[in-house]
């Protein structure tokens, strides 16, 4: 019996070694990549029908070749597996039929399979320890395909929203409306730091990265995905700014709804400003219900949904009408370092979007259109002044800052404006004062770890002196009206 086990294990080992030598993992990865390209083409609304047909045809041919490549490699490995069994029988060490019967027993298959899984898992741990494994937050090929399916059609997203709302209302009829809280500013203005600080409060509810990719169906998606909940290692986000995230990190994905129900605002060149007349029943209802669902799912006594969405700076004139009792917080950063940070991130995402089509698609799907190849500026009232500059120059981003915060100044009476410098150097007093204005209990929470402490400075010589003068004057005027 021992001899039969040894011979069978040698056969299994030869099979595994054969797969390794034949690079079956790389072949399978290439096959899945071709499948991904075909699905990506079919769900890409920016491609013409002819381009889709050509890409899908090429992917189909590549899949056929890949399937044949996998087939002959497996056939060769199975043939190699028989060699030690044949030799053992011919040398009278063990009988061929008895070895095969052993290897076909369910208990044998289970034990050997578990052992192989454990070996592969341990090998993976060693590779991770050596730093040779990609970030655990990276999408696998299967996850990329699921993402593309989830965002393949506005009709599918709307249908998912209606089904999710119906399921939620069926089981939770008596949940009352609770005013949401909105954090918004120009990107790189400190909204994420504020989001993390607010998330310390048990009364605050937000989306998390686990809600991807079925953003319009968070209730059903969390129920369905709960059994497969996975842990991931925290990693630095794509901005390269030192902020680390994992699947449980707070984030706001409600821009998906704004894109879905107000598509006319996104013309590919600019994002329009929402006016009071842009209030439409279905979109507002879906957003309100989404906020209620996330608040319910958060548990722990959460009462307010928190939206951290930079694009909401284009909706300051609508938010109070659409969401009665809502509170809007606008962090404001000094113009020169803010514009310099915008410029750096634009260059960063230009490179990322050029190197990885999926990163570009992911950002487009969730409405992160601030930077890179996707950069779509918001058409503020003085937007035409921005077009005199190129996004690849620092002056463009300073002009954009001026246009944005002129609009903020025009709506400042409906917002709580907080200066990023106050959050940097007086985090606790600033946060507790802000939370008291919002009637949120903060107890003795310490918020200093949520904000940077260094002085926010940059090289001002890269900007035109005239633009700097305008920006500094605007910042001084806003500062006088900021929360003290």
Model confidence over 46-70: pLDDT tens digits?
A: 667 677 677 767 767 777 777 777 7
DSSP structure string for 335-394: HHHHHHHHHHHHHHHHHHHHH-HHHHHHHHHHT--SSGGG---B--TTGGGGGGS-TTSH
pLDDT of residue 379: 93
pLDDT of residue 347: 94
Provide mean pLDDT across the span 377-396: 87
pLDDT of residue 172: 85
Name the pLDDT band for 28 (thresholds 50, 70, 90). low
User: Comparing 36-50, 189-203, 377-391, 428-442, which segment has the lowest mean pLDDT?
Assistant: 36-50
Cβ–Cβ < 8 Å for 309, 195: no
Q: Is 210 helix (H, G, I), strand (E, B) or coil?
A: helix
Is the preceding omega at residue 213 within 30 degrees of 0, hence cis? yes
Can you state the angle between helices 141-150 and 24-42, rounded to 10 degrees?
10
Can you state the angle between helices 357-366 and 141-150, rounded to 10 degrees?
40
Three-class HEC string of 243-284? CEECCCCEECCCHHHHHHHCHHHECCCCECCCCHHHCCHHHH
Q: Is 307 helix (H, G, I), strand (E, B) or coil?
A: strand
User: Phi and psi at residue 229, in whole multiples of 5°?
Assistant: -55, 125
pLDDT of residue 378: 95
Higher-scoring residue by pLDDT: 134, 272: 272
Higher-scoring residue by pLDDT: 105, 365: 365
Higher-scoring residue by pLDDT: 160, 50: 160
User: Comparing 69-73, 78-82, 139-143, 154-158, which segment has the lowest mean pLDDT?
Assistant: 139-143
pLDDT of residue 55: 72
Provide mean pLDDT across the span 410-419: 94
Model confidence over 201-236: pLDDT tens digits?
A: 999 999 988 888 899 999 998 888 766 555 555 555
pLDDT at 411 over 90: yes
Provide mean pLDDT across the span 273-283: 91
- The domains found in the chain, sorted by start residue, are 2-133 (no CATH), 142-480 (3.40.50)
User: Comparing 135-139, 419-423, 459-463, which segment has the lowest mean pLDDT?
Assistant: 135-139
State the pTM of this model.
Answer: 0.74
Name the pLDDT band for 36 (thresholds 50, 70, 90). low
Name the pLDDT band for 38 (thresholds 50, 70, 90). low
Cβ–Cβ < 8 Å for 195, 183: yes
Question: What DSSP state is assigned to residue 418?
Answer: E
pLDDT of residue 135: 38
Model confidence over 344-360: pLDDT tens digits?
A: 999 999 998 888 888 88
User: Comparing 20-24, 343-347, 460-464, which segment has the lowest mean pLDDT?
Assistant: 20-24
Q: How far is CA 14 from the centre of its chain?
A: 42
pLDDT at 245 over 60: no
pLDDT of residue 125: 44
* Tokens linked to 218: 């968070």
pLDDT of residue 171: 86
């Amino acid at each position: 019996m021992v001899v039969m086990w040894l011979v069978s294990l040698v056969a299994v080992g030869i099979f595994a070694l054969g797969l390794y030598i034949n690079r079956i993992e790389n072949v399978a990865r290439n096959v899945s990549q071709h499948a991904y390209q075909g699905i990506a083409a079919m769900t890409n609304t920016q491609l013409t029908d002819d381009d889709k047909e050509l890409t899908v045809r090429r992917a189909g041919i590549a899949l056929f070749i890949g399937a044949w490549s996998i087939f002959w490699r497996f056939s060769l490995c199975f043939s190699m597996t028989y060699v030690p069994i044949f030799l053992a029988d011919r040398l009278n060490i063990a009988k061929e039929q008895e070895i095969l019967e052993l290897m076909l027993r369910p208990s044998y298959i289970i034990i050997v399979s578990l052992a192989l899984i454990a070996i592969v898992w341990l090998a993976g741990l060693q590779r991770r320890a050596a730093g040779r494994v990609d970030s655990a937050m990276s999408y696998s090929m299967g996850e990329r395909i699921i993402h593309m399916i989830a965002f393949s059609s506005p009709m599918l997203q709307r249908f998912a929203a209606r089904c999710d709302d119906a399921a939620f209302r069926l089981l939770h009829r008596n949940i009352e409306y609770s005013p949401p809280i909105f954090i918004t500013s120009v990107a790189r203005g400190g909204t994420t730091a504020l989001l993390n600080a607010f998330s310390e409060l048990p009364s605050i509810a937000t989306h998390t990265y686990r809600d991807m990719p079925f953003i319009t169906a968070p209730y059903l998606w969390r129920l369905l995905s709960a059994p497969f909940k996975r842990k991931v290692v925290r990693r630095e986000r794509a901005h390269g700014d030192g902020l680390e995230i994992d699947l449980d990190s707070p984030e706001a994905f409600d821009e998906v709804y704004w894109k879905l129900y107000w598509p006319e605002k996104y013309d590919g060149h600019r994002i329009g400003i929402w006016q009071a007349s842009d209030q439409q029943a279905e979109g507002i209802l879906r957003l309100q219900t989404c906020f209620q669902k996330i608040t319910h799912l958060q548990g722990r006594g959460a009462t307010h949904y928190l939206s951290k969405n930079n694009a909401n700076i284009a909706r300051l004139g609508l938010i109070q009408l659409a969401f009665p009792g809502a509170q809007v917080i606008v962090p404001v950063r000094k113009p020169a370092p803010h514009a310099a940070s915008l410029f750096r991130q634009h260059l960063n995402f230009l490179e990322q979007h050029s190197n990885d089509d999926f990163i570009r698609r992911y950002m487009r799907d969730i409405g992160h259109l601030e930077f890179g190849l996707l950069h779509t500026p918001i058409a503020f009232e003085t937007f035409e002044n921005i077009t005199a500059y190129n996004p690849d120059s620092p002056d463009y981003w300073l002009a954009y800052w001026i246009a944005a915060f002129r609009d903020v100044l025009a709506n400042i009476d409906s917002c709580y404006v907080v200066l990023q410098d106050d959050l940097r150097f007086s985090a606790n007093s600033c946060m507790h004062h802000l939370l008291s204005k919002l009637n949120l209990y903060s107890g003795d929470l310490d918020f200093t770890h949520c904000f940077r402490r260094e002085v926010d400075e940059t090289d001002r010589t890269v900007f035109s002196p005239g633009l700097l003068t305008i920006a500094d004057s605007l910042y001084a005027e806003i500062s006088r009206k900021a929360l003290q």
